Chains A and B, each alone.
Chain A
Amino acid sequence: MSAEIKPKMRGEKVSVHYGDKQALFDVDLDVVDRQVTALIGPSGCGKSTFLRCLNRMNDTIDICNVDGHITLDGRDIYHKDVDVVELRARVGMVFQKPNPFPKSIFENVAYGPRIHGFVRHKDEFEEIVATSLQRAGLWEEVKDRLDAPGTGLSGGQQQRLCIARAIAVNPEVILMDEPCSALDPIATAKVEELIDELRTNYTIVIVTHSMQQAARVSQRTAFFHLGYLVEEGNTDDIFTSPTDPRTQDYITGRIG
């Protein structure tokens, strides 16, 4: 990667073991600031494992062991002094299935700012909830029913609610693990449009099984296979003329 592109996050020689089984092998990958990086590859290739290393979600799995270095703005996120809760506020996450809390729409978004304690007053909460819902493209659809339960929204709306919840704590990086796999094409298009808007303010890493989605939403694409990073580069190049035959075989539907 050329010197002038500054990485927001950097993985160096990242290896991950689940017990005896090694899931990732010496992965070197930069995540460029305010760009969308797509991680693609067949099931079990290690892409979600790598994604979960970026905000230490793997810490919650006892048998999981991460080696190598991962930095955020040049600082090692696995350093013993790092506060994991604070890290996850800076590196937020959106999951495959929309998982709103069984609370009101308002409380879903206000939850993060409340537990992190950086908002105290009622009108501040109202402002942050409104801004987050607007940025997530959901405001117009829910502004008259903020007290309704978040679980009562449609699947696509729930996913955008989860994105609003993630951005309410003002993260720098947003990790998305197949955010559209449970959504219909219209809801998918809305989320993709949202990702494109969000990248002016946030760095985004997205795991997706849809080649077309990776080609549409990302600027960089990394292809994982059997735990190795096979190829990484400009999305336009990866999907028109990849250099590694394994990438070519995967994106054209020759290996699964």
Chain B
Amino acid sequence: MTSDHIVSAFDAELTGLTSRISEMGGMAERLVDESVQALARRDVDAARLIAARDKHIDDMQREIDESAILTIAKRQPMAQDLRTIISAIRISNDLERVGDLGKNIARRVIAIEGLALEGRFIKGIEHIASLSLVQLKNVLDAFASQDIDAAERVWHRDDQIDDLYTSLFRELLTYMMEDPRNITFCTHLLFCAKNIERIGDHATNIAETVIYQATGQNLVDRQTTG
């Protein structure tokens, strides 16, 4: 924000949107983190509670949408204000999807209850999850501070997650070939890995939105113009 609006209620509305995005981001981060922890511990009770919490994130998205629409109708925002509001809508949409993906992991913890497990199967998942969570955390920080360099770093680092996913895919396939009894369990883990990889994609979407919000330019255009 450059300076205050003449109508101070407008500032309050924009700040409200921004702080609710940060709050929603924190909720989505925790949900994913705890889902992966529940997976590692195979804690079905925790997983049920975590999956139920996704509803709060959905509610939050609806609230952000509604107040963004109301602000557009009341203030007819222009330039940076308009970009801030459109960005809030986009980011809350990405975070809602992150919440869904986290919930999906929690549900798989319930689905694999009682299946035989070897600890080494989970290690790769924990690794890719920690990478995705760092991406999510960094992009939310970049959003809060409107730091376009940090957002660009997040955008470039997504390749690491994609590479890790590819190697994890091979690893899980190997376990399945080793012993067909691993197939059910490893297939569930493969879906978890895919969900986590997609959380990384949402982090890069958010990075693009942060850059758009701050500069009015799309990342691809910025890179071609230098």
Interface residues in chain A, defined as those with a beta carbon under 8 Å from any beta carbon in chain B: 211-212, 215, 239-242, 245, 247-249, 251-256
Contacts and interface: CB of A to CB of B under 8 A. Distances in A.
B187 interface: no
A254 B76 contact: no
17 contacts: A215-B78, A239-B78, A240-B79, A240-B82, A240-B83, A241-B83, A242-B79, A249-B2, A249-B3, A251-B78, A252-B80, A253-B6, A253-B10, A253-B75, A254-B2, A254-B5, A256-B6
Contacts of A249: 2-3
Given A240-B79, A253-B7, A254-B3, 9 more contacts: A211-B76, A241-B83, A248-B2, A248-B79, A249-B2, A249-B3, A251-B79, A252-B79, A253-B5
B217 interface: yes
Contacts of B7: 253
B217 to A, nearest CB: 7
**Which 3 residue pairs across A and B have the least CB separation, nearest first?**
A241-B216, A251-B78, A252-B81
B217 A241 contact: yes
Interface string B45-86: 000000000000000000000000000000111111111000
Contacts of B82: 239-240
Contacts of A255: 6
B79 A239 contact: yes
Contacts of A252: 5, 77-81
Q: Place the interface of chain B in its size category.
A: 10 to 19
Contacts of A239: 78-79, 82
B174 interface: no
A37 B79 CA distance: 19
A40 B216 CA distance: 21
A255 B6 CA distance: 7
A245 B76 contact: no
A239 B80 CA distance: 9
B19 interface: no
A251 B81 CA distance: 10
Nearest to A238: B79
Contacts of A245: 2
A247 B76 CA distance: 16
Nearest to B76: A212
A97 B225 CA distance: 46
Contact of B6 (A241, A247, A251, A254): A254
A241 B5 contact: no
Contacts of A254: 2-6
Contacts of A253: 5-7, 10, 75
Interface string B1-42: 011111100100000000000000000000000000000000
Contacts of B3: 249, 254
Nearest to A251: B78
B38 to A, nearest CB: 44
A96 to B, nearest CB: 22
Contacts of B10: 253
B215 interface: yes
A251 B77 CA distance: 9
Contacts of B77: 252
A143 B77 CA distance: 41
Contacts of B216: 240-241
A228 B84 CA distance: 29
A255 B2 CA distance: 11
Contacts of B6: 253-256
Contacts of A248: 2, 79-80
B147 to A, nearest CB: 18
A249 B5 CA distance: 8
Residue of B2, B4, B78 with most chain A CB atoms under a 10 A cut-off: B78
Nearest to B3: A254
Contacts of A212: 76
A241 to B, nearest CB: 3
Residue of B77, B79, B80 with most chain A CB atoms under a 10 A cut-off: B79
Contact of A211 (B5, B78, B83, B215): B78
Interface string B181-202: 0000000000000000000000
A212 B82 CA distance: 13
B78 A241 contact: no
